[in-house]
Structure 1
Amino acid sequence: MQKEHSQPGAWAVIYCSATGKFLMGKRSSKVNKGGAWNLFGGRIDDGERPREALVRELDEEAGLNVKLRHLAKLHTATRRLRSGDVERDMHYYVIQADREFSPRLNREHSDFRWFKATQLPSRFNEPTWVAIKKGLLQKVARH
């Protein structure tokens, strides 16, 4: 189980400029970290590039058909072990939405919501917490 947490991953910061809100999913009780809110995305499988993994994850988790060219690279955060070795790379991309929409959730999520950066929920999974801590949502909202 520990290996899964150290796998690299890719996540989408989905932003609606018309409303100034970000799309997040609420993890269902059927998965790890149930009840936590998160950006959509997940692990990168062997042989996948981060963008390819994110396109796959967005389709699986939210029923979104996103083209690779619509994913703008935002940031890569690297978590390191005390030894300095890389434990996990977390890749973040931006998707600009013209309007708020309703994703088609799979069993991993029980709910979704559009949030203003100033009114985020309080419980997140680690990759979402890292994105917030690094100011990635504010960076997207400013551009």
Structure 2
Amino acid sequence: MSERIVVVGAALWHEGRLLAARRSAPAELAGRWELPGGKVEPGEAPDAAVVRELREELGVDAEAGERVPGEWPLRPPYVLQVWTARLRPGSLAPRPLEDHDALRWLAPARIWDVDWLDHDVPAVRDTLTHLGLAARQS
């Protein structure tokens, strides 16, 4: 069986809004938006990776919720899985620490106001569907 590396994306919700993070690197992704996250380390549970990545990338104390059904192909051998997440009470506000230069909280009606990375578009769309939020893509 070929190698398969899971990348987790966090659909971080707070006060009815989804957090989007703008990439600052690598150059080919810079300026586009994504769900924050990263690779699952060997032996690490995906939901634990969500918590760790949010702490490392955004400096927040969060907890993973449920996995959004499905997975989305990235550059082989990577696949994207999305987990819902929420800030723990008392967490600091998110700030871009690694790989990002801006953050935006998006209400469901504004989700498509940012230029999502191509591979995040179906993941975001399916996350909204999973959560029962109808946000039309323009």
Fold shared, TM-score > 0.5 on shorter chain = yes
% same residue: 22
Cα distance in 1 for partners of 2:26, 2:86 equals 30
Q: TM-score scaled by structure 2?
A: 0.72
Amino acid at match of 1:15: W
Decide whether aligned partners of structure 1 residues 65 and 122 sit closer, same or farther in structure 2, where only a CA change above 3 A counts. closer
- Structure 1 residue 57, shift from structure 2 partner: 0.8
**What's the secondary structure of 2:102's corresponding residue?**
strand
Equivalent residue runs for 1:91-106 within 5 Å = 91-97=81-87, 102-106=93-97
**Structure 1 residues not aligned, in runs of 5+:** 81-85
Amino acid at match of 1:11: G
**What is the CA deviation profile of residues 80-136 of structure 1, one whole-angstrom value per residue up to 9, with x for unaligned ones?**
7xxxxx9544322222458xx7312213110001112221234222452232232x1
**Structure 2 residues not aligned, in runs of 5+:** 134-138
> Which position in structure 2 is the counterpart of 1:111?
102
> Which position in structure 1 is the counterpart of 2:60?
64
Alignment partner of 1:15 out of 13, 16, 20: 13
Cα distance in 1 for partners of 2:99, 2:7 equals 16
CA contact (8 A) 2:9 2:81 kept: yes
**What is the CA deviation profile of residues 18-42 of structure 1, one whole-angstrom value per residue up to 9, with x for unaligned ones?**
4x31111111145551111111111
CA contact (8 A) 2:10 2:84 kept: yes
Cα distance in 2 for partners of 1:52, 1:31 equals 28
**Count of residue pairs the alignment pairs up:** 126
Considering fraction of residues, name the structure with more helix: 1
> Which position in structure 1 is the counterpart of 2:41?
45
- Structure 1 residue 9, shift from structure 2 partner: 1.2
